[in-house]
Structure 1
Amino acid sequence: MIGFAHRGAPAPHQRENALPAFRRALAGGANGLESDAWLTADGVPVLHHDGVLGPPGRRRRIGDLTADRLPGWVPTLASFYAELGTSFEFSLDLKGPPGGWASTAAAVVAVTRQAGGSTAARRLWLCGYLPELAAFREQDPDVRLVNSTSMRTVMDGGGVSAYGGRLHAAGVAALNLRTREWTPPQARIVAVLHNLGIAAFGWDAQRTSTLTRLAGYGLDAVYSDHLARLVRISGSAAA
C-alpha cells in the first residue's frame, strides 16, 4: 500500500508543502508524497496548498506572481525533484483558475519528465475530476490519473461497475474517496475496482484505527498527515 504523506506530513512548527517537510517524510520511511501544484504568472509549477500568499489585506495569488517573486520557502516543482529525486510515488492535486487544469498538468508533466523521464512520470499521480482526466489521457501515456470524487457521484453514475467501467475506458488508474466513505458495506467495491484494473485510494486517513481498517479493506493507497502512523501501517519505502 502506498502511504502518501499529505503535504509532506510536516512536524509541529514546520511549514507544510516545504522541502524540509518532504525531506522529513522520506527520511521517516514514507513511500509517497502529496502536494498541490499551481502555475505562476510565468508558467512555473510550484507546490502550495491554497495558492494565496501574504498576510490579510495584502494577499496575493500565486497565479498573479512570477516565480522570482515568491518566498524562498515555496518550492518549485523543479527544485522539489532536484532536492529529493524521483524514487517515490508522488500525488498532486492540480489547482488554478477554471479551465486551467490541463495547462497545469502539461507543465507538471514536462518538469517531471525532465527530472526523471518515463520512470518519474509513472510515479506521478495526478488527481482531478473525470472529464478533465479523460481529456488529458491521450497527452501522456505514463502518468497515473486519479479520480477524486464522492460515493454519491459513483452511485449517480450508475453504480460501482458502471462508473468503474467509465474510469477504465478513460485510462484512469485509481478512484479516490474520502476515508469516511470507505465503510464495511462499501469495502466490497474494492474487489470490483480491482477486477476492472482500477486502484482504490482513501484520503484523510488520520487515526491508526482508520489506517488499519483501510489496509484491511485492501486499499492501494492512503493519504495521512501523521507520518509515524502512516509508515507503520502502509510499510516504509525501504521495505
Structure 2
Amino acid sequence: MNLIGGSVEIHGHRGARGLRPENTLPGFAHALALGVDAVEFDVGFTADGVPVVNHDQVLSPVNAADTGPAEPGDPAFPYVGRAIRELTLAQFRTLDMGVRRPPDDEDPFVLTQLPLPGTRPPTLDEACALIGAAPGVRLAVELKTDPGWSGAEVERFTVAVAEVLAERGLAARGRVLAFDWRVLVAARRHAPDLGRVALVERKTLVPGTDWLAGLSPAEPANAALEIGATVLSPERHLTTPGFVAAARAVALPVAVWTVNEPAEMDRCVDRGVDAIVTDYPDRLRAVLAARGLPVPAPFRTPVPAPTA
C-alpha cells in the first residue's frame, strides 16, 4: 500500500515529452488534456533574473534551435550552446523549441513526439498561468542548479521561483524539485507552504557527494527527511522494494522517474510507489485503468503564445 490511499498519481514529465515538445506550453496543454495529477517541468534563471522553462542549463541542439539574434549584431549569438544564465530573456525568447533534433537514431522520442515548429520557450509565469487553470493539478517545478552554483545564487533563484508561484496563488499546489538539496533548504526557509521533492539518482548518492547539502547518502530516505523534504523522488533504477520500504518507514511518499514502459509501470505500482513520472501519461493512464485504479480527469485549455 502506498501513502495516498491505494491510488497512484500520474506526473507528466516535462509536460508529455514522448508526445509533444518538452517543456513547452503545447506540451503542458497536451498533458492536461490527457489527464494528469501533476505536470513536471524544469526551470532556469536568465541573466536578467527571470525564471524560464527549459531542462538544460546549457542550451542543447537536441531541443533548441536558433532563429536569429535578439538584436542585430548581438555578439552573444548564436545562443544554442550557451548557458541560460548568460542570456537575457529577450535572447532566450528567440529560440525555437518545437522540433526534436537528436544526434542519432537511438532517441525514442523523435518517433513519437509531434513536431511543432516555431514553438517558443515559456517563462515560469506563463507555465503557471496555463497549468494553474486546471483545477487540482499540481506543478512540480525542478530547479536546475548544481554544486557549482554559489549558495547565494541558489537562494536567489529559489526565492524568485517561489515568488512567481505565490503571485499566481499556486503555493499550495506547487512543489519544488531538486537534486541540489540546497534548493530544498532555501525553499523551507523562504516558502514553507511549497512542497519539497528530494530528487536522487546514482551519481548523487556516492560517498563525499556535494549534491545533498552535506548529508550522508547512506540512507537517502532519512537524509531527505532531515533536509525537510516532503517527497522522495528516485530514478527508476533505484526504486527497489527495499528503497520504497525505507521511505515508507519515515512516511515519505515516493515519486519514481522516469518510467515509460507499461510493464515497468506495473512493477512500480506493485512496489507501492505513490506517483510515477512518465513521458507518456497516456500509457500510464491505460495501465492504471486496467488495474481498476482511478485516473485524473482531462482538462482542455487553449494554448496562449508566449509574450514578447
Query: Aligning the two structures, in what range does the TM-score lie when normalised by the shorter sequence?
Result: 0.7 to 0.9
Asked if 2 retains the 8 angstrom alpha-carbon contact of 1:30 and 1:230, the reply is: no
Structure 1 unmatched ranges of 5 or more: none
Q: 1:25 aligns with which of 31, 54, 58?
A: 31
Q: Which amino acid aligns with 1:3?
A: I
Tell me the distance in 2 between the aligned counterparts of 1:196 and 1:214.
19
Q: % of aligned pairs identical? A: 26
Asked if 2 retains the 8 angstrom alpha-carbon contact of 1:176 and 1:202, the reply is: yes
Tell me the distance in 2 between the aligned counterparts of 1:83 and 1:152.
34
Give runs of aligned pairs for residues 32-111 of structure 1, distance below 5 A.
Answer: 32-51=38-57, 52=59, 53-55=64-66, 58=78, 59=80, 60-69=82-91, 70-71=93-94, 73-85=120-132, 87-96=136-145, 98-99=149-150, 100-111=153-164
The aligned residue for residue 213 of structure 1 is: 267
The aligned residue for residue 197 of structure 2 is: 146
Asked if 2 retains the 8 angstrom alpha-carbon contact of 1:23 and 1:84, the reply is: yes
Asked if 1 retains the 8 angstrom alpha-carbon contact of 2:132 and 2:170, the reply is: no
CA shift for structure 1 position 34: 1.2
Structure 2 unmatched ranges of 5 or more: 1-7, 67-76, 95-118, 208-215, 289-293, 299-308
Count of paired positions:
231
CA distance 1:47–1:211, change in 2 (3 Å)? same
SS in 2 for 1:81: helix
CA shift for structure 1 position 215: 1.1
Tell me the distance in 1 between the aligned counterparts of 2:250 and 2:206.
17
Q: Deviations over 1:6-39 (max 9, x none)?
A: 1111465x42111011001011011111111011
Tell me the distance in 2 between the aligned counterparts of 1:136 and 1:118.
11
Say which structure is richer in helix: 1
SS in 2 for 1:116: coil
CA shift for structure 1 position 42: 1.4
Q: Structure 1 residue 237 and structure 2 residue 290: aligned? A: no
Say which structure is richer in strand: 1
RMSD: 2.7
TM-score (norm 1): 0.83
